[in-house]
Amino acid sequence: MSDAALAGTLDRSAAAAQARGIAGSGIGFDGVTVAYKGQVVLERLTLDVAPGEIMAVIGPSGSGKTTALRAVAGFVRPVAGRVRIGETDVTDLPPHARDIGMVVQNYALFPHMRVSENVAFGLRARRAAESLVRQQIESCLAMVGMAEYAARFPRQLSGGQQQRVAIARALAIRPRVLLLDEPLSALDAQIRRAMLGELARLHRELPSLTVLYVTHDQTEALTLADRIAIMRDGRLVAEGPSQHLYRRPPNRFAAEFLGRANLLPVALEAGASEGVLTRVRLGETVLRCMAPGVPLPGGRALLCVRPHALTLAADGTAENALPATVRAVEWQGDSHSIDLETAGAPIRMTCAPLRDPPPPGTDVRLHFPADEATLIPADAE
Amino acid sequence: MPSDLALPARAAPRETGGAWILPPLLVLGALFFYPLALIVGQSFTSESGVVTPRTYAAVLGGALFRNALLHTVEIALAATAGCILLGFTLALILTFVPFPGARIVARLVDTIIALPTFLVALAFTFIYGSAGLLNGALMQATGSHVPPLDFLYSAWGVILAEITVYTPFIMRPLLASFSLIETAQIEVASSLGAGAGRIIRQIILPAAMPALLAGGSLCLLLTVNEFGIVFFIGAKGVITLPLLVYDKAIQEFDYTTACVIAVVNIALSLALYALYRTLLGRLGGARAGMV
């Protein structure tokens, strides 16, 4: 299929999907607690996903992120709290009555059914008219670029193709919300990147579709999500718009889980507030950074600076110039990663490949813009 | 590297493949093919030692044989159907409806497989027989002098006993097959709007079909050839082919007739096995590597 033809098909599919009114319902967790055999695995989760939003829920294994998704799907029953889809309280509804589309890590395609039968499964389960079933098979497979594979069995498809079919199957029933549980983790890096682009494109085609995206991969979350929720030990530890959460993490765990972070122990300078900015001291150096959004007990804090926000300071740079000693230099193809030490603390910078990187043992000065550094409480994670 | 330092070429392995086939062939020949050949040979030999197919005509045309063949097939089919229905339901519950003790129950299934078949027939006699526990209790409760339950000494008694004995042969492969079904498939099907019935029909049953066919065919073969249960229950008028072979050979010393019936019984078993292989091939057994 040519690019123009493909684009035309996508446009038609998108328009059809919009006309069919896919979704537009948000998701709400109101103090949801889930326990298995008395052990709490999700604790008082309160979170709202706006209609049409992609919310990524990330966290390490056992953090409760998949449990949260399963609570929306109806596969686990909360011991406390309510789950909403749109305005409907679905806590007591069985999974088949919740109007959700779901895509899981291993695709879970039905192996004895052809691609078209997989896509039609949900519609036939809902006793849709056969004409609508045929129309939906065609449009949903076209939407994910799999129209030519309708007659194949899942075993005849690659991992990426299987994932596309799984997405088409989930969208075919016109779900109110789409639940994605680690949908790309079984794919290799190259296909994963391509599928991320596909998912982003799909959401542009279906902007009213609400997506709850569970992953442990922060790159997927940052690439795709409008907002990110970070879970740890069954609790929500941070939540906010993706860029904001990345640049202004509220705590140490969020800072370290969402990308690499330099966390430098600093002391607040007395009377240092300058509106949105403030001054802190690291060793003998006074630095300017974003003022904290929360009280910092004892005037101690961690200064969070992302490695790519650091640069080697040009001579004469006075503000936010941090003396440091190079410990190691790694060339990573499209970047250089330099490990340094400043005021007894390790610090890392990443930058575009340098023609003459400073050798280990060299004393340099690092610079970062004040609005690229944020303070987080030192005693809390 | 100088050529004289090169390692000597490895000696070609000796051709010993043919010799390894001999021991199993000898064992098979002594224990299976020779007795089978004797039976087939005897079935074509008259009392005077003449080779003739006349006994076949006489036996196959007789009402006793036709009756036994009919009973054999009827009982085997009914028992197998019962085993499939009960085995599928029980395996489904044990796998997908979690309850305390489910694992223990699944383990108990294996112990039934280990029991001799006549033991179940004996137990049935104690429970459902005319002087059994159940009839005794019912007679006491109702004041009746006639046992209210009178099914054990009929074809139904045989079928019930065979279902009890052979259901685990269906359950065992089904439990293994069910454990391989991804929970995610069932969950996704459920999220797409499928209820329990549709999930069983369209997701679980197709996945379990090779195991169901394997267990079902094994069950069919075993019930066709079942002797102990039929003999022990001693149901009136219920003569099956194996029982007829016993009657002719042991009670009437009519070995030629017994061998003719045995050959038919073997042919019936092989035909059922061939049918099973064909069905398995058509229903996805080839994909599962079972054909």
Inform me whether the pLDDT recorded for B2 exceeds 70.
no
Q: With a cut of 70, say whether residue B288 has pLDDT above it.
A: no
Range of the domain at B176: 52-282
Measured between CA atoms, the residue of chain A closest to residue B182 is: A108
Q: What is the pLDDT of residue A364?
A: 93
* Model pLDDT, residue B103: 80
Q: Where are the alpha helices (DSSP H) in B101-182?
A: 102-114, 117-128, 133-142, 155-180
Structure token pair of residue B243: 């029982």
Q: Tell me how far apart the alpha carbons of residues A181 and A84 are, in angstroms, rounded to a whole number.
A: 19
Report the distance separating Cα B244 and Cα A26, nearest Å: 73
Say yes or no: domain A260-377 is CATH 2.40.50.140: yes
Looking at the partner chain, which of A96, A106, A109 has a beta carbon nearest the beta carbon of B193? Answer: A96
Residues A42 and A169: their CA atoms lie apart, in Å, by 29
- C-alpha A154/C-alpha A4 separation (Å) is 28
Alpha-carbon separation of residue A57 from A217, A308, B241, B258 (angstroms): 10, 24, 67, 74
Q: In which band, very low, low, confident or very high, does the pLDDT at A91 lie, cut at 50, 70 and 90?
A: very high
Q: Which of A102, A176, A181 to mutate to test the interface with B (most CBs of B within 10 A)?
A: A102
Look-up of token digits 């007739």:
B257
Measured CA to CA, the distance from residue A209 to residue A25 in angstroms comes to: 8
Tell me how close the Cα of B188 comes to any Cα of chain A, in angstroms.
6
Task: Compute the average pLDDT of residues A60-86.
Answer: 94
Give, in order, the Cα–Cα distances in Å from B46 to each of A26, A152, B42, B60: 87, 61, 8, 15
Mutual orientation of helices B155-180 and B63-96 as an angle, nearest 10°? 40
State the CATH number of the domain containing residue B141: 1.10.3720.10
B121 assigned to some structural domain: yes
Strand order in the sheet with A100-103: A100-103, A177-181, A210-215, A54-58, A227-232, A235-241
Asked whether the predicted pLDDT for residue B156 surpasses 70, the reply is: yes
Residue listed under structure tokens 């010393």: B253
User: Please, which pLDDT band fits residue A6 given cuts at 50, 70 and 90?
Assistant: very low
| Stronger pLDDT, B130 or A292, i.e. the higher one | B130
Its ipTM equals 0.79
| Interface contact flag, B207 A111, Cβ < 8 Å | yes
Q: What are A346's two structure tokens?
A: 């390790």
CB contact under 8 A, B187 and A73: yes
First CA to last CA across chain B, in angstroms?
52
For A183-192, the pLDDT digits (tens) are 888 888 888 8
More confident residue, A29 or A159: A29
Determine whether the interchain pair B192/A106 forms a contact, defined as Cβ–Cβ distance below 8 Å. Answer: no
Phi, psi dihedral angles at A204 (to 5 degrees): -65, -35
How far is residue A65's CA from residue A214's CA, in Å, rounded to a whole number? 6
B42 touching A, CB under 8 A? no
Block residue for tokens 């045309």? B61
CB crowding A78-94: b at 16 or more within 10 Å, else e: beebebbbbeeebeeee
Q: State whether residue B181 sits within 8 Å of chain A by CB.
A: no
- pLDDT value at residue A14: 40
At A195, is the pLDDT very low, low, confident or very high (cuts 50, 70, 90)? confident
Write the DSSP assignment of A95-124 as a string of letters. GGGS-EEEE-TT----TTS-HHHHHHHHHH
Cβ proximity of A294 and A374 under 8 Å: no
How many other CB atoms sit within 10 Å of the CB of residue A60?
A: 13
Burial class of residue A181, CB neighbours in 10 A (0-12, 13-18, 19+): buried
Look at B191 and A179 and tell me if their CB atoms are within 8 Å.
yes
Q: Looking at domain A3-247, does it have CATH number 3.40.50.1100?
A: no
Tell me how many domains chain B contains: 1
Mean pLDDT of chain B: 84
With CB atoms and an 8 Å threshold, state whether B192 touches A122: yes
With beta carbons under 8 A apart, name residues in chain B contacting A125. 189, 192-195, 198
In tens, the pLDDT along B157-209 reads 999 999 999 999 999 899 999 999 999 999 999 999 999 999 999 999 999 98
Q: pTM (2 decimals)?
A: 0.78
- Average pLDDT of the segment spanning A75-86: 94
Q: What is the per-residue pLDDT across B246-271, written as a single tens digit (0 to 9) for each?
A: 999 888 888 889 999 999 999 988 88
Where are chain A's structural domains?
3-247, 260-377
